[in-house]
Amino acid sequence: MGALIDGESRPRLESWLAGATGATRVSVADEGTLGGGAISLNLAVTLDIDGGPQAGRHACVLRAQPGGGSAVAPSMKASISKAQEFAVLRAAFGAGVAAPEPIASCGDPAVLGADFYIMRRAEGIGAGHKVVKSDQPQRGLARELGRQLGRLHRAGPDTPGLEDLPVPNPSPALDCVHAYRDWLGDLAVRDAVLAWGLRWLEIHAPPPGDLVLCHRDYRTGNYLVKDGALTAILDWEFAGFSDPMEDLGWFCARSWRFGRHDREAGGLAGREDFYAGYEETSGRRVDPQAVAYWETAAYMRWAAIAVLQGRRHTSGEEPSLELALTGRMLPEIELDLLRHIRNLGLTVASPVESAGAGLSGDASEERVA
Amino acid sequence: MRTSPDAQELLSIVAETFRTDLLPHIPPAQRYTALMIANALGIVQRELAGVDEAGHAMLAALALLYGEDADDSLSGTELRQRVEALQHRLCIEIAAGDFDHDGQDVLMECLEEIVQARLGIANPKLLRG
């Protein structure tokens, strides 16, 4: 994609923004591309708004659909559209979650040629390996991230504005298995580790339960921290309705601990702090067995997304060393998957220890039936 | 006639020169990209040198699962195709539910061997000690 904002498109963007914000005039300064855009194109922009309820200067981010237009490319099928992402951001922000404040969303291709939206820019450090760097466990941060997730999970299919998001059928777990198999394509019948991961998820799939708005990429690396405190939760492009425990399993997966495996909640602290924060605000108990199921799903989901990203490179659609190397991470993700399944198996053999750790033998048998 | 230095020898000196002569002088803004290049070169080196060894390890794991003897004489394309055929068969059996009740221990051992063989090329730092 060429420059999104150039001499030709800038006046169109500015006049559209004036309408969208009820201003008399808006000027936009483009400050260049921001990182963290494996899926989306992120531009740092500053808006100078004259008149209307939002008059003033605002540091913002413009997030656009890569490749232009409004359609989600086949290799990015894990993502929702920019219009849906904006609706999710509004719902999250409205629920009191530390999501960047949504400003305006545009689905008119005449403006920039791609769907995009604008949100307020947050400050802080995002890179996972920097966030987890700390002599002491970051218990307060882990607990706050639990609270934030609990707040998000109070939104669901009845929340106004989320009507466009699909509702899983027949169940969140089986819908996930179906999606992962679809993303993996023929690899699901060529890679025995992935085949076993998919089968394991089918056999142990929990029945449908609560359905909530899940972030689906809630992890270290996708939030910003300043002076040890959370400033914003980012990267909402995978959001959707699912089992609430899916987000907890994803957050605690080994993949997002950035080497701090002794701190299972995102490399920050122990799970108990994260879970306690979650229970404070969600009005729901954490079910460790269900979290363990969703942690298996997390490895499969990450494996399938890595395959999709590698394919974006190999298909010639978007040549990129980073995407190519993500595709080569598959054995590493599979190692984590097998280790996790192996650990759950051990708790089957010694059910006494299974309380906080995994699926008991009885529960898995019931689920087979 | 064999070209000398061959591809592996050439690649080896490319990777070493890049790491020792260039990497320390890369400006911070490009360092991540440079590290990705060094990582990718390492993967290519290990794959060129060890793809048959990894293939034999996977074949041995699959043969054990099926109670067969692994054919040690295979190499190159034939070896790769044999491993792919057995993995495909295993995928079909797994999806059909053949391991839902029995054989999970032996299946897990086989899968762990396969992953170890592939990690030896993709990221040997993670190999079990």
pLDDT tens for residues A100-121?
999 999 998 889 988 999 999 9
Q: Does B89 score more than 90 pLDDT? A: yes
Q: What DSSP designation does A12 have?
A: H
Q: What is the pLDDT of residues A122-166, one digit of tens each?
A: 999 999 999 999 999 999 999 999 999 999 999 999 999 999 899
Q: Which of B36, B119, B121 sits opposite A335 (nearest CB)?
A: B119
C-alpha A326/C-alpha A312 separation (Å) is 10
Q: What residue spans define the domains of chain A?
A: 9-120, 128-368
Q: Are A282 and A244 in contact (CB under 8 A)?
A: yes
- The whole-number average pLDDT for the span B16-29 is 96
A123 to chain B, minimum CA–CA distance in Å? 20
Share of chain A above pLDDT 90, in %: 79
| Better-predicted residue by pLDDT, B13 or A4 | B13
How many CB atoms neighbour CB A238 within 10 A?
Answer: 20
* Contact residues on chain B for A188, CB-CB shorter than 8 A: 91, 95
How many CB atoms neighbour CB B93 within 10 A?
Answer: 18
Length of chain B equals: 129
Q: Which of B33, B107, B115 sits opposite A331 (nearest CB)?
A: B115
In B, minimum Cα distance to A365 occurs at B101
C-alpha A210/C-alpha A220 separation (Å) is 25
pLDDT category, A37, cuts 50, 70, 90? low
Q: Does A341 touch chain B (CB under 8 A)?
A: yes
A209 to chain B, minimum CA–CA distance in Å? 24
Angle at CA of residue A84, ends A82 and A87, nearest 5°: 110
* Contact residues on chain A for B40, CB-CB shorter than 8 A: 321, 324-325
Cβ contact A192–B110 (<8 Å): yes
C-alpha B88/C-alpha B94 separation (Å) is 10
Q: Does A40 score more than 70 pLDDT? A: no
Q: Can you give the pLDDT at residue A36? A: 55
Cβ contact B95–A341 (<8 Å): no
Q: Does A244 score more than 70 pLDDT? A: yes
Share of chain B above pLDDT 70, in %: 98
How many CB atoms neighbour CB A286 within 10 A?
Answer: 20
pLDDT category, A304, cuts 50, 70, 90? very high
Domain A9-120 has CATH 3.10.20.30: no
Cβ contact B90–A321 (<8 Å): no
C-alpha A329/C-alpha A339 separation (Å) is 16
Q: Does A321 touch chain B (CB under 8 A)?
A: yes
Q: Does A362 score more than 50 pLDDT? A: no
Length of chain A equals: 369
| Assigned token pair, A128 | 């996972």
- Rounded to the nearest integer, the mean pLDDT of chain A is 89
* Contact residues on chain A for B114, CB-CB shorter than 8 A: 192-193
ipTM score here? 0.95
Instruction: Mutate one of A177, A189, A366 to test the B interface: name it (highest B CB count within 10 A).
Output: A189
Q: How many CB pairs under 8 A join A and B?
A: 77
Cβ contact B112–A190 (<8 Å): no
C-alpha A178/C-alpha A205 separation (Å) is 12
Q: What residue spans define the domains of chain B?
A: 7-124
C-alpha A101/C-alpha A120 separation (Å) is 5
pLDDT category, A365, cuts 50, 70, 90? very low
Cβ contact A325–B91 (<8 Å): no
Q: Which of B40, B100, B118 sits opposite A203 (nearest CB)?
A: B100
B42 to chain A, minimum CA–CA distance in Å? 12
Q: Which CATH architecture has domain A128-368?
A: Alpha-Beta Complex (3.90)
C-alpha B60/C-alpha B58 separation (Å) is 5
User: How far, rounded to the nearest angstrom, does the alpha carbon of residue A19 sit from its chain's CA centroid?
Assistant: 31
Q: Does A260 score more than 80 pLDDT? A: yes
Interface of A with B in 152-191 (CB under 8 A): 188-191
Cβ contact A335–B110 (<8 Å): no
User: Which residues have CB under 8 Å from A26's CB, separation 6+?
Assistant: A14, A15, A17, A18, A47, A48, A49, A50
Cβ contact B33–A321 (<8 Å): yes
Cβ contact B88–A189 (<8 Å): yes
Q: What is the pLDDT of residues A199-224, one digit of tens each?
A: 999 999 999 999 999 999 999 999 99
Q: Which of A196, A199, A328 sits opposite B122 (nearest CB)?
A: A328
Order across the sheet with A102-106: list the strands: A25-33, A41-50, A56-64, A116-120, A102-106
User: How far, rounded to the nearest angstrom, does the alpha carbon of residue B106 sit from its chain's CA centroid?
Assistant: 21
* Contact residues on chain A for B90, CB-CB shorter than 8 A: 192, 195
Question: How far apart, in Å, are the Cα atoms of B39 and each of A42, A347, B33?
Answer: 27, 37, 10
Question: How far apart, in Å, are the Cα atoms of A181 and each of A198, A211, A303, A305, B87?
Answer: 7, 22, 11, 11, 17
Least trusted range by pLDDT, from A2-11, A48-57, A159-168: A2-11
| Assigned token pair, B20 | 């020792």
Residues of B with CB under 8 A from a CB of A: 33, 36-37, 39-40, 43, 84, 87-88, 90-92, 94-95, 97, 99-100, 104, 107-108, 110-112, 114-115, 118-119, 121-123, 126
Q: Are A60 and A45 in contact (CB under 8 A)?
A: yes
Q: Does A88 score more than 50 pLDDT? A: yes
Q: Which of A196, A328, A368 sits opposite B94 (nearest CB)?
A: A196
User: Partners of A106 in the beta sheet?
Assistant: A116
Q: Can you give the pLDDT at residue A357? A: 41
A197 to chain B, minimum CA–CA distance in Å? 10
Share of chain A above pLDDT 70, in %: 89
Cβ contact B108–A341 (<8 Å): yes
The model carries a pTM of 0.90
Q: Does A360 score more than 50 pLDDT? A: no
Radius of gyration of chain A (CA): 21
In three-state form (DSSP H/G/I as H, E/B as E, the rest C), the secondary structure along B68-107 is: CCCCCCCCHHHHHHHHHHHHHHHHHHHHCCCCCCCCHHHH
| Better-predicted residue by pLDDT, A78 or A75 | A78
* Contact residues on chain B for A196, CB-CB shorter than 8 A: 94, 99, 107, 111
C-alpha A14/C-alpha A172 separation (Å) is 41
Least trusted range by pLDDT, from A36-40, B55-59, B105-109: A36-40
Torsion of CA B52, B54, B57, B63, to 10 degrees: -70
Q: Can you give the pLDDT at residue A1? A: 45
Cβ contact B119–A341 (<8 Å): no
| Assigned token pair, A255 | 């993949």
